């Protein structure tokens, strides 16, 4: 289960907006919001990009995307 609040906290720590994240993933902001709301899932390649972009540890990645 995706933890939206943890994800948002990681975005804030890096000073990134949802628009920044969507652009980095090459997706529309509306698609990102669907993924964040649980209506759609993040793909593996998107999670890998987010780990690098947000500088997530393995522990943080598990906590956010696979809790």
- Per the prediction, the chain carries an average pLDDT of 96
Given a cut of 90, whether residue 9 has pLDDT beyond it is yes
> pTM here?
0.91
Q: Specify if 37 maps to a domain.
A: yes
26: left (phi over 0), alpha (psi -120 to 50) or beta: left
In this structure, is residue 52 part of a structural domain? Answer: yes
The answer to whether residue 67 sits within a structural domain is no
Average pLDDT of the segment spanning 55-64: 96
**15 Cβ contact partners less than 8 Å away, ≥ 6 residues apart:** none
Q: Read off the pLDDT band of 61 (50, 70, 90).
A: very high
Q: Summarize the confidence of residues 12-30 as an average pLDDT.
A: 97
Q: Is residue 56 part of a domain?
A: yes
Task: List the CATH number of the domain containing 26.
Answer: 1.10.260.40
Query: Would 11 be classed as within a structural domain?
Result: yes
Three-state secondary structure call for residue 9 = helix
Q: What confidence score (pLDDT) does residue 67 get?
A: 80
Query: How many structural domains does the chain have?
Result: 1
In terms of residue numbers, what domain contains 25?
4-62
């Amino acid at each position: 289960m995706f933890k939206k609040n943890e994800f948002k906290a990681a975005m804030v720590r890096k000073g990134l907006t949802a628009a920044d994240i969507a652009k980095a993933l090459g997706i529309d902001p509306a698609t990102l919001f669907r993924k964040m709301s649980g209506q759609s899932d993040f793909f593996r390649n998107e999670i890998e990009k987010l780990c690098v972009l947000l500088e997530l540890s393995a522990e943080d990645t598990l906590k956010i995307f696979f809790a």
